[in-house]
Amino acid sequence: MHQRLGLGVGILKASTYRWVMIKWTPGTKMTIASTTMRGNRKLKTQLTKEQLRESAQTGWTTYFEADSSSLQLPAAKLAHATAAPTELAQALGNSLEGLFFLFLPKSMWLSIATESNRYQLQYRTQAADGIMARQRRIKERRPGYKMKTLQQLQKEQLSFKPIQAHELVTFIGRLCARTLCPFREKMSNHWAVDAQGAVPKGTFGRYISTRCFEEIVRFLHFSDNRGPDARSRLNSDSADLNQGPNAVLRNIEEVPDGLPKRRLIITDRFYSSVLLSSILLQRGLYHVGTIQTNRRGYCKSIPYKHAKRPKSMVRGSYRIARSKAKPSIIAVSWMDKWPVHFIATGCSTQPAKLSRRAGADIVEVQAPQLVKDYQDGMGGADIHDQLRLQRYSIQRSMKMRKYYLTIFLGLIDMALINAYTIYRRVQAARVPGKAPPTHAEYMRLMQVALLSVGAADFEGDLSVRRLADTPVPPSPTPRYTLPGGHTTRQVKIYRITRGENGNETRKRRQYDCKVCSLLRPGKNSWETTFYCVECTEAKTKGGVVDTTNSKGKIYLCQKVRQHDPSASTNSATCSQIWHDLWRGGDSIPPGLKAFRLRVASGRDVQCADSAVNGADDSDGGSSVRSVRSLNSD
């Protein structure tokens, strides 16, 4: 079937909080950071702001209601694949504990426990001084007050019991139980020892003490406040521009990694923009989504001025605009009960029928096919949000004072819903004819599984594979799979930039891609930080590749550039073009100009440190050769 990727599932947006990004890999620290506290990330494209503003006025060919059906573009050919749980997920289908640790691995909980204990130690070390100051103030008012010494206070504060990883999992299990049986009056009723009439006594005390639960809530932390990446209050004014489109691009770099291109990305109006559609098209991905009419570059002549459909207007009327600069980009203003605006690439504009509700009846409403594609794709994201936020939501079961803890619970909700989706599908396949488990039944079984996790489960092998029913071979993990074992690596050369606020930022240097240099004659080449290690070693006759020196490397983009939309390279990355089509540079098509490969010299190696510090990367002292392939010496 055609594969679509709805990115509304992968991003958590709290209504009163900033956007967050979780980044964690095994063996590293887990960090939860607001994107508004990260550096700016500009969307790279050939379109400038002035061009987008001008395009909004004159850059579109419009088709109004009378002739909107005359523009009938076919849909682009999407990648064909089957959607199913992975082999490991199916093997864990009978183990709720295994599904939980599949999405939230044990190494992550160990990392959270380590950072929580570090934060608790930092807090308690300073708390003794604060308590001592309060004692002095009390002593001034009450001369007979007996003060404790600073050494006694420090000993009391530092004699805490560290938080264990299995206690964090038990904490989540208790919150799962709270979603099923909440004491809405107050949280402490879960530890009540006596029943009051028909209100039963609490049961939390059998699994986790009140003090342990409160300390987890108080000291739950994910990063070192004193680490080199921590920002001070004086350096927290940087903003992430275009955070909606940037969130899509971050997901695109992670989610479909290693999978074929030509997929349809579906977004809502917070993410969509003309700029995003253009960038996704350059990467070999198609896009459809609702859009705000004030987005830069969106056609200004087709949006309806009515806030609600007039009675004189037929439901399902629509207007279409087609970009003159990029004919693949289509804008649609469709009138349902109120106007809805779309931006799309690779979608069909042929008329279609949608089922819409009109009071108690269901009616057929006309709309372009791209509107139907959007509704079909966003249905999964809507159902995911409903399951996560409605009846059995951990995020809504407990109010946190710190915003990032609320967001963390929301991410736990996402993992639980993903596990529920797999569990329901695997159980239905294993027991045909039996009704799949309900959401409530799943949450009841999940909290039982999480409460059974102990300290012994975090000893020895932490791999989730040992919880599977059958042995599962390890899956390949390279980010870019290249023929013949070729791998890519990033250069370790940086430059220092200074923002408008005067803050310095270290950025990795970029260099011209070898494939782009050949396929874009007369234009500036795309730049990248990745190079092929094996191709570079072959050119240097098996020498050791110096990552701190820029010379003599085969730089290759890891993205689809679409140099020629009609060519066979339309859906291939520059790295795939170099290795698959050009056989490592041996089969460069005739007629393409030779590129200049700078081979490192002794002086370049000596200048590596200056390049790291942002010095000018000149070509002096390096030998330059014009080559056709790696074997042309």
Q: Which amino acid is at 322?
A: R
At residue 43, the pLDDT reads: 53
pLDDT at residue 197 in the model: 73
Q: What is the pLDDT of residues 85-98, one digit of tens each?
A: 888 888 888 889 99
For residue 190, give the DSSP letter.
G
Q: Which residues 6+ apart lie within 8 Å of 607 measured at CB?
A: 615
Spatial separation of the C-alpha atoms in residues 271 and 290, rounded to whole Å: 9
Q: What pLDDT does residue 462 have?
A: 86
The model's confidence at residue 618, banded by pLDDT at 50, 70 and 90, is very low
Nearest CA to 329 out of 271, 376, 280, 292 is that of 280
- Counting Cα atoms < 13 Å in the Cβ hemisphere of 156 gives 11
Banded model confidence at residue 500, pLDDT cuts 50, 70, 90 = low
Structure tokens at 395: 């995020």
Q: What is the pLDDT of residues 136-190, one digit of tens each?
A: 999 889 988 888 888 888 888 887 888 899 999 999 998 898 888 887 667 777 7
How far out from the chain centre does Cα 496 lie?
A: 27
Q: How many residues does the chain have?
A: 633
- How far is the C-alpha of 569 from the C-alpha of 515, rounded, in Å? 11
Where do the structural domains in the chain lie, given as residue ranges? Answer: 4-25+36-70+243-377, 89-225+399-460, 483-627
Confirm if 331 and 298 have CB atoms less than 8 A apart.
yes
pTM of the complete model beyond 0.75:
no
Q: What is the pLDDT of residues 399-411, one digit of tens each?
A: 888 889 999 999 9
pLDDT of 67 higher than 50: yes
Helix, strand or coil for residue 37?
helix
pLDDT band at 435 (very low <50, low <70, confident <90, very high): confident
Do residues 374 and 271 make contact, with C-beta atoms less than 8 angstroms apart? no
Helices (H), 255-356: 274-282
What SS3 state is found at 218? helix
Checking if the pLDDT of 318 tops 70, the result is: yes
Note the pLDDT of residue 38.
33
Mean pLDDT of the chain: 76
Q: What is the per-residue pLDDT across 530-556, written as a single tens digit (0 to 9) for each?
A: 888 888 887 766 555 565 666 778 888
CA quadruple 35, 36, 37, 42: dihedral sign: positive
Considering 208-222, 317-331, 550-564, the range whose residues carry the highest mean pLDDT is 317-331
Instruction: Please state at what angle helix 403-430 crosses helix 439-451, rounded to 10 degrees.
Output: 110
Give residue-wise pLDDT tens across range 564-603: 655 555 567 788 788 877 877 777 777 675 544 444 444 4
Chain Cα centroid distance, residue 487? 24
Query: How many whole angstroms separate alpha carbon 172 and alpha carbon 409?
Result: 9
Q: Could you give the C-alpha distances from 570 to 262, 323, 519, 566, in angstroms and in order?
A: 10, 20, 12, 7
